Amino acid sequence: MNMNSYDVINEAGAVPIKLWTRGVPLEDEARRQLINIARLPFVHRWIAVMPDVHLGKGATVGSVVPTVGAIVPAAVGVDIGCGMMAARTTLTGDDLPDHLGEIRAAIEKAVPHGRTVGTRDKGAWANPPEATVAGWKTLHDDFSKITARHPKLSRTNNLNHLGTLGTGNHFVEVCLDEENRVWFMLHSGSRGVGNAIGSHFIERAKQDMRRWMINLPDQDLAYLPEGSDYYADYVFAVDWAQRYARMNRQIMMQHVVDAVRKVITKPFDAQAEAVNCHHNYVNREHHFGKDVLVTRKGAVSARKGEMGIIPGSMGAKSFIVRGLGNAESFHSCSHGAGRVMSRTEARKRISVEDHAKATAHVECRKDADVVDESPAAYKSIEAVMEAQRDLVEIVHTLRQVVCVKG
Judged on CB neighbours under 10 Å (0-12, 13-18, 19+), 303 is middle
Which residue type sits at 109? Answer: K
Could you tell me if 298 and 339 are in contact, meaning their C-beta atoms sit under 8 angstroms apart?
A: no
- 83-92 and 116-117 beta bridge pairing: unpaired
Could you tell me if 45 and 288 are in contact, meaning their C-beta atoms sit under 8 angstroms apart?
A: yes
Measure Cα distances from 20 to 15, 49, 207, 255, 390 in Å.
Answer: 16, 6, 35, 37, 9
**For this structure, is 335 an active site residue?**
yes
Element (H, E) at 329: none
SS3 32: helix
Number of H helices, E strands in the chain: 9, 19
Which residue type sits at 294? Answer: V
Measure Cα distances from 106 to 180, 214, 357, 366 in Å.
Answer: 22, 53, 24, 18
d(C-alpha 265, C-alpha 154), whole Å:
42
d(C-alpha 122, C-alpha 366), whole Å:
19
Catalytic residue, candidates 150, 161, 331, 335: 335
Q: Which of 139, 183, 187 is nearest to 159 (CA)?
A: 139
Judged on CB neighbours under 10 Å (0-12, 13-18, 19+), 163 is buried
Judged on CB neighbours under 10 Å (0-12, 13-18, 19+), 10 is exposed
Residues labelled as active-site residues? 335
